[in-house]
């Protein structure tokens, strides 16, 4: 059916403006500020990583389609795949890792499964997981590689406690951690507190601005948290993502965090803090960019909600046990395995319900 008669005379003669290609390019556009910001923060290494993954993804796609289908064709989706792989890389990663991860993603996961639209596993996520499994040491996060040591730890802030949790986990020296709450953060937070939160009788704890601006980011993608939030608003308002997935994921994850805590600190107030949980571990990137890839997620609405909940569970488990800092990639590919069963089940139930009501 792919050799559809390409004819103008087939109705409908009018269409929505959204197309698969446009969705991809808009998603890429929303990620460009993330790229730019990470380059500001990490400098040349970031440029190399972004460039290498995108370039490798495109080249692999082109060559493999030339070999396999005797036609040189580069899918737009490869650009997005490349960007998403790079987003999960720490700035200090040796370049061969992102390159091999991109080749794996495009060649093995996308092309061998039949090209765009047929791959049941999210290629970008598979690439990231591939990197984590093979080179776990190199993929270890470099907490605060910038070492913007502008301030010493202020013990009262919840972020400080989180940092202690991090420290205990990664066994990193406290001296590197102390830069986490930067002067910039303090300045912005106190400004917001005076002008916005105090009049509302609230107080923004210090540390979040750091997270938003990626001043203590583990990966390139996390560095642009603020821009990821803006980008997801754009994607949702343009109706380009399956909104059911992030919605279910979000709610489920928050419920889990509220009930069981993040497991990174003994302080209950910090442990179940919603803002903290959202700013950590690439959660937002996972929610809006990883989990919503149309090809490898369910097509039915009920299926999407179920999938979102499943990813939230897996993400929570991975992040709680700190198995991998990028628990999102693993959560998504494991959930991918169940997608076709979820779809089949939902459609079967739908058919059953319809035959009953008819």
Partner 1 sequence: MRRIKKFRHGGLYQRGQAFVGGQSIENAYLPNHALLIFREHEAAGEPDLAVNEGQLVNEGQLLAKATRNNALNVHASIPGIVRKIMTIPSPEGFNTRALVLSLQGHFKLNGAISGKRPWQSLNRHELSFVLQEKGVACTATGLGLHQILGNAHGVDTLIINAIDSTNYPAHEIVILEEYLNEVMEGCAIIKKASTVQSVLVALSGSRNQKLEVNIAKAAESFDLQYRIEYFSDKYPQAFPHQIISALGVNKNKNPCLFLVPGTLYAVYNAVSLNRPHIDQFVTFGGDVLKHHQLLKVRIGTPVGRLIEECGGFIHAPEIIALNNPMVNGCISNLDTPVSKTTRSVWALSKSATRLGVPDNCIRCGACIQVCPERLDPYLMYKLLGSGSIEKIRGQLDACTSCGACSYVCRSRIPLSVHFKNKKKEKLKDEQ
| Binding residues vs partner 1 (CB under 8 A) | 1-2, 4, 6, 8-21, 23, 115-118, 242, 294-301, 304, 347, 350-351, 354-355
DSSP string, 235-298: HHHTT-S-THHHHHHHHHHHHHHHHH--SS-S-HHHHT-HHHHHHSTTHHHIIIIITT-STTS-
No. of H helices and E strands in the chain? 16, 0
Q: 217-244 burial, b if ≥16 CB within 10 A, otherwise e?
A: bbbbbbbbbbbbeebbeebeeeebbbbb
Q: How far is the CB of 307 from partner 1 (least distance, A)?
A: 11
Torsion of CA 54, 41, 278, 120, to 10 degrees: 10
Tokens of residue 90, six digits: 């720490």
- One-letter-per-residue 3-state SS of 195-252: HHHCCCCCCCCCCHHHHHCCCCCCCCCHHHHHHHHHHHHHHHHCCCCCCHHHHHHHHH
Q: How far is the CB of 304 from partner 1 (least distance, A)?
A: 7
Torsion of CA 33, 39, 40, 41, to 10 degrees: 110
Q: How far is the CB of 326 from partner 1 (least distance, A)?
A: 24
147 or 340, CB closer to partner 1? Answer: 340
110 or 271, CB closer to partner 1? Answer: 110
271 or 343, CB closer to partner 1? Answer: 343
110 or 277, CB closer to partner 1? Answer: 110
Q: How far is the CB of 298 from partner 1 (least distance, A)?
A: 7
Nearest to 185 by CA among 162, 151, 141, 156: 151
CA–CA dist 44, 62 (Å, integer): 27
Q: How far is the CB of 310 from partner 1 (least distance, A)?
A: 17
226 or 234, CB closer to partner 1? Answer: 234
Q: How far is the CB of 242 from partner 1 (least distance, A)?
A: 6
Nearest to 218 by CA among 267, 252, 248, 176: 176
206 or 293, CB closer to partner 1? Answer: 293
Nearest to 80 by CA among 284, 290, 242, 226: 290
Q: How far is the CB of 7 from partner 1 (least distance, A)?
A: 9
17 or 195, CB closer to partner 1? Answer: 17
218 or 336, CB closer to partner 1? Answer: 336
CB 241 within 8 A of CB 297: no
Q: How far is the CB of 244 from partner 1 (least distance, A)?
A: 9
119 or 276, CB closer to partner 1? Answer: 119
Q: How far is the CB of 23 from partner 1 (least distance, A)?
A: 7
91 or 304, CB closer to partner 1? Answer: 304
Q: How far is the CB of 26 from partner 1 (least distance, A)?
A: 12
CB 81 within 8 A of CB 35: no
**Measured at the alpha carbon of residue 301, what is the angle toward residues 300 and 304, in degrees to the nearest 5?**
85
């Amino acid at each position: 059916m792919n050799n559809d008669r390409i004819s103008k005379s087939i109705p409908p003669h009018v269409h929505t403006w959204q197309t698969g290609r446009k969705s991809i390019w808009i998603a890429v556009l929303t990620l460009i500020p993330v790229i730019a910001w990470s380059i500001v923060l990490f400098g040349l290494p970031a440029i190399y990583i972004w460039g290498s993954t995108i370039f490798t993804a495109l080249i692999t796609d082109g060559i493999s389609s030339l070999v396999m289908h005797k036609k040189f064709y580069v899918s737009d989706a490869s650009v997005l795949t490349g960007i998403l792989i790079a987003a999960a890389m720490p700035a200090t990663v040796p370049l061969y890792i992102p390159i091999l991860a991109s080749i794996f993603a495009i060649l093995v996961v996308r092309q061998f499964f039949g090209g765009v639209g047929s791959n049941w596993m999210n290629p970008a996520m598979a690439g990231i997981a591939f990197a984590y499994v093979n080179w776990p040491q190199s993929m270890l996060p470099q907490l605060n590689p910038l070492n913007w040591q502008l301030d010493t730890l202020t013990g009262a802030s919840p972020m400080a406690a989180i940092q202690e949790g991090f420290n205990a986990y990664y066994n990193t020296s406290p001296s590197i951690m102390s830069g986490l709450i930067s002067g910039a953060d303090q300045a912005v937070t106190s400004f917001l507190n005076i002008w916005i939160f105090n009049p509302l009788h609230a107080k923004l704890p210090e540390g979040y601005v750091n997270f938003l601006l990626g001043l203590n980011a583990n990966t390139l993608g996390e560095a642009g948290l603020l821009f990821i939030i803006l980008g997801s608003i754009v994607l949702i308002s343009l109706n380009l993502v399956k909104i059911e997935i992030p919605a279910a994921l979000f709610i489920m994850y928050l419920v889990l965090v509220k009930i069981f805590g993040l497991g990174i600190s003994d302080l209950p107030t910090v442990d179940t803090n919603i803002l903290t949980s959202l700013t950590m571990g690439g959660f937002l990137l996972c929610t809006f960019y990883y989990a919503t890839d149309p090809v490898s997620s369910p097509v039915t609405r009920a299926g999407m909600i179920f999938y979102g909940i499943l990813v939230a569970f897996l993400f929570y488990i991975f992040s709680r046990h700190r198995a991998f800092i990028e628990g999102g990639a693993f959560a998504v590919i494991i959930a991918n395995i169940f997608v076709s069963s979820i779809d089949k089940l939902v459609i079967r139930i739908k058919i059953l319900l319809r035959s009953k009501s008819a």
